[in-house]
Amino acid sequence: MSKYLIGIDVGTRSARAGVFDEAGTLISSAKRDIALINRGSNLYEQSSGEIWAAVCAVTRESLQNASVDAASIAGIGMDATCSLVVIGPEGQPLPVGDADHPERNIIVWMDHRALDQAARINATGHEVLRYVGNQISPEMETPKLLWLKENQPEVFAKAEHFFDLTDFLTWRATGCLDRSICTVTCKWTYLGHERRWDESYFKTIGLPELCNNHFARIGETVIDAGTAIGTGLTAEAATDLGLPQGTPVAAGLIDAHAGGIGTVGWLDAKNTGSATSRMAYVFGTSACTMTSTTEPAFVPGVWGPYYSAMIPGLWLNEAGQSAAGAAIDHLVHLHPAANEATEKAESAGIGLTLWLSKQAENLVSEGVDLAQCVGGLHVVPEFLGNRAPFADPHAKALIAGLDMDTSISALIRLYIAGVYGLGYGLRQIILTQSAKGIVLDTIVVSGGAAQSPTVRQMLADATNLKIAAPRTTEPVLLGSAILGAVAGKLQPDIQSAMAAMTAAGETYFPNVNTKEHHQQRFDAFELLQATGRQLRT
């Protein structure tokens, strides 16, 4: 019997599942939207119950669409956003906000309610902070836990388990409390290279309770991604998912890291490949960058180095932009022509930003130089702060060069300037890491916001680096399926599975004729960005 794998991905607004064969070819996929509750400025919550129901629905649907026997599924891999899940007695959800809505038990990754707590943690200067670029983010879990203790002490005290969302999913599937080294190292300050929690850190920041019982509430046992958890699917979870009891389930990854696994490990024409020379750029609602090194690289403002957090045996540096696809979406809706353009997009059956990317593609086909057409319009799209390289959650977006043109053509130019702004922010991250010895030759892009060939070329020009796209249309799902292949013993380890199941697609090279122009625009980007910081003081 042929063997198949299931990859499950929970993003910010949807849950997806895909069925893959042993070669990494996508057979079928399914998607369900999930609610994102915004209770005010920087307050975002979700329901773990709703998310689990969506995961079950997409798994069953993808299986049905693939027309494969459920008994042929050799393994399941899962990934999710790095959101905090709060679970009380008997596995029941506990509210992280409104007490009248206990089902809302997730503080979403993008929630910034813990700004003050993050600032106080950073002021301690604890040694652990070296591994998060010396600045912990309010998007990470310990500031959020401290906020919960200080603002909802009864919920904090009652909670039996605090999970990263990925670990909640594997616990819900297997009943096993083991945590992935990816989640706890990248977002919870676990020291992966030493295989331990630092008790002094939790006592210093005001969370000594979490040290009790060998850190049982946040993870007593930490295992490598891809490791088979427990005895596989429980009877209850198997019924929910439409799979046999005992189907192997892998320790998971954060969603962006699954995208890294699904993109950077292919072998080239000479049957060689180097994950250490390739940056994974997962471009969705937010954007994450992952670079792997053989030795630890400490880069100010860049998270890590994290040992074995993505590829076992390698160190990971993680950076990115807190708002990427979401930033462009917000930017273009500010323009007076947004409503008119939205009507045109809806008549074409697509979203506004995709429609705008197609208008940019039309300009290119007409011989228009996009960098020249935006003229003196410059955008720093930091609507949700600067994740890297400044680790500045208080940063704001800036636009320079606006006029009174309210036409759709002006909206298209604003869109182009915004995408270039993201590219220059990515370039800034690359240069910061290069100064610490991380040398790259390729950026491998994935994610819904990076599907347009024109956007990929714009990123190549803005960063002055080669852009490669993965062959698969679902690299994040493939990354999770790779974990399933290891847990199901179809592959001996993640590196072997990456080489066997991933491949490169189209490649985009920077335009040498616009190199100087983009250098000038990058200089303008940094000037505008620095001016914004100065204005805030």
CB 234 within 8 A of CB 173: yes
- Residue 512 host element (H or E): none
**What confidence score (pLDDT) does residue 284 get?**
86
- Alpha-carbon distances of 290 from 6, 232, 257, 433, rounded to whole Å: 23, 29, 7, 11
Distance CA 309, CA 315 (A): 7
Number of H helices, E strands in the chain: 19, 21
Q: How buried is 523 (Cβ within 10 angstroms: 0-12 exposed, 13-18 middle, 19+ buried)? A: exposed
For the chain (537 residues), the mean pLDDT of every run of 10, in chain order, is 96 96 97 95 95 98 97 98 97 96 97 97 97 93 98 98 98 98 98 98 98 98 98 98 98 95 77 79 91 95 95 94 93 98 97 96 96 95 94 94 97 98 98 96 90 95 96 95 98 95 94 96 98 93
**What confidence score (pLDDT) does residue 285 get?**
86
Domain ranges of the chain: 4-253, 325-430+513-536
Q: Which amino acid is at 235?
A: A
CB 378 within 8 A of CB 528: yes
**Number of Cβ within a 10 Å radius of residue 412:** 24
325-430+513-536 under CATH 1.20.58.2240, yes or no? yes
- Residue 342 host element (H or E): helix 338-347
C-alpha triplet 66, 79, 209: angle, nearest 5°: 150
CB 287 within 8 A of CB 426: yes
DSSP string of 5-27? EEEEEE-SSEEEEEEEETTS-EE
**What confidence score (pLDDT) does residue 242 get?**
98
Strand-pairing partners, residue 29, are 18
Q: Has this prediction a pTM greater than 0.85?
A: yes
Where does 4-253 sit in CATH, by number?
A: 3.30.420.40
CB 105 within 8 A of CB 35: no
